[in-house]
Amino acid sequence: MTTLAGAALPTLPSTLPGTAAPVRMWLPEQETEPAALDQLRNIASLPWVHGVRVMPDCHLGKGATVGSVIAMRGAVSPAAVGVDIGCGVAAVRTDLVEEDLEDLGALRSAIEQAIPVGFHEHSAPVPAGTLTRIGARAGLDRFWEGFAALPEKVQDREGKARRQLGTMGGGNHFAELCVDSRDRRVWITLHSGSRNIGKEVAEVHIAAARGLEHNQALPDRDLAVFLADTPGMDAYVRDVHWAQEYASRSRAIMIGLLRETVAAHWSARGREVGFDMPVNCHHNYVSIEEIDGADMVVTRKGAISTREGGLALIPGSMGVGSYIVRGLANPDFCSASHGAGRRMSRTAAKKAYTRADLVAQTEGIECRKDRGVIDEIPAAYKDLHAVLRYQSDLVEPVAHLQTVLCVKG
């Protein structure tokens, strides 16, 4: 097990005072943005909320705090999932070791050719032959049949959604090659979501919820909810599950394309590559779970489930890499952080840092070093190692993966 060095930890979780429903935090209150604390109090004031759990990467979000796990009785708030429905991570270990790494500039170019990033998309949906070759999940045709049930407003987006399946997007989404700090094995890691279709589905439902009569007196209308056994909630749950599957399938396709690209890179050098230990999990999603002996609607916005005790990936930044962790199934909502979390907004990061700062902070890493990704500079993120120390009762670190190559949109 990886040892996490650091100073003595505060006693966590702590309870946020002055809330209607209990809010338990795996981050010291004094290290949390005042605006995020206000937002957590607003969430806890909703009459349907049973409890809130706050992960150590939490920061201000729209409506609901990023890094929050919310259990509700008979209701769901679309903002508590967010607009990137099904956003999550994937990873796979290779049998390469650090000494095998060479010509990473050419490999980065090959990855960027294989996987569209930013606003780009495939010129046509990934062909069935390619999906078979890379071992993509079966049942894609049946999955697409579900598109017809999505809101009418998005029905003309199907072509775009098909072309964006298996594409990365921008912002903090990435594909990386990383080196395990223990045995120097090379991993492929990925962070992506449901692209434009997930965003549009979410926005349709958030707008619909805001207009409902029972939401008019809320402290923050962005927290508007659908109530159980109503057409609005039924439609949202159906659509959010479709978008979650879209995101999961998209990650699986990209991992397949990444494996193929990495394998081709080393095959040209006479080296066959093996892969194992696959990971693929959401961190923006909704599920029905038993909480304190009752079935409740649980939303995770920037949090992973540890209920099954399996492997997950918790990313940091281009400069720090990620952790492979094993969930400890802590019965207190069975959750953990989804990453390091931002310590400053994108706008603030662009004002505070220069391209020279980005170059210095990503020294030795094959990645973009232009002004277009300054908002993703490592200093804009919290200390990933501290984030892991704060949640030692939630996850067990298995490996620290140091980034050596990063592709961003």
Q: At residue 9, does pLDDT exceed 80?
A: no
Percent of the chain with pLDDT strictly greater than 70: 98
> Dihedral of CA 131/136/138/140: which sign?
negative
Q: At residue 7, does pLDDT exceed 60?
A: no
* Structure token pair of residue 107: 């490999």
Which active-site residues does the annotation give?
Answer: 338
Q: Is 301 one of the annotated binding-site residues?
A: no
Beta-carbon-side half-sphere exposure of residue 7 (alpha carbons within 13 Å): 1
Q: Is 280 one of the annotated binding-site residues?
A: no
Check residue 331 and give its pLDDT: 95
Q: Is 175 one of the annotated binding-site residues?
A: yes
Note the pLDDT tens digit of each residue in 166-225. Answer: 999 999 999 999 999 999 999 999 999 999 999 999 999 999 999 999 999 999 999 999
Rounded to two decimals, what is the model's pTM?
A: 0.95
Over range 279-286, report the average pLDDT.
Answer: 97
Q: Measuring CA to CA, how many Å separate 384 from each of 278, 279, 314, 339, 409?
A: 22, 19, 9, 7, 22
Beta-carbon-side half-sphere exposure of residue 100 (alpha carbons within 13 Å): 23
Q: Is 82 one of the annotated binding-site residues?
A: no
Nearest Cα to Cα of residue 404 among 362, 373, 374: 362
Euclidean distance between CA atoms 187 and 178, whole angstroms: 5
Q: Report residue 71: phi and psi, to 5°.
A: -105, 125
Amino acid at 234: D
Note the pLDDT tens digit of each residue in 298-310. Answer: 999 999 999 999 9
CATH architecture of residue range(s) 14-343+381-408 = Alpha-Beta Complex (3.90)
Q: Is 211 one of the annotated binding-site residues?
A: no
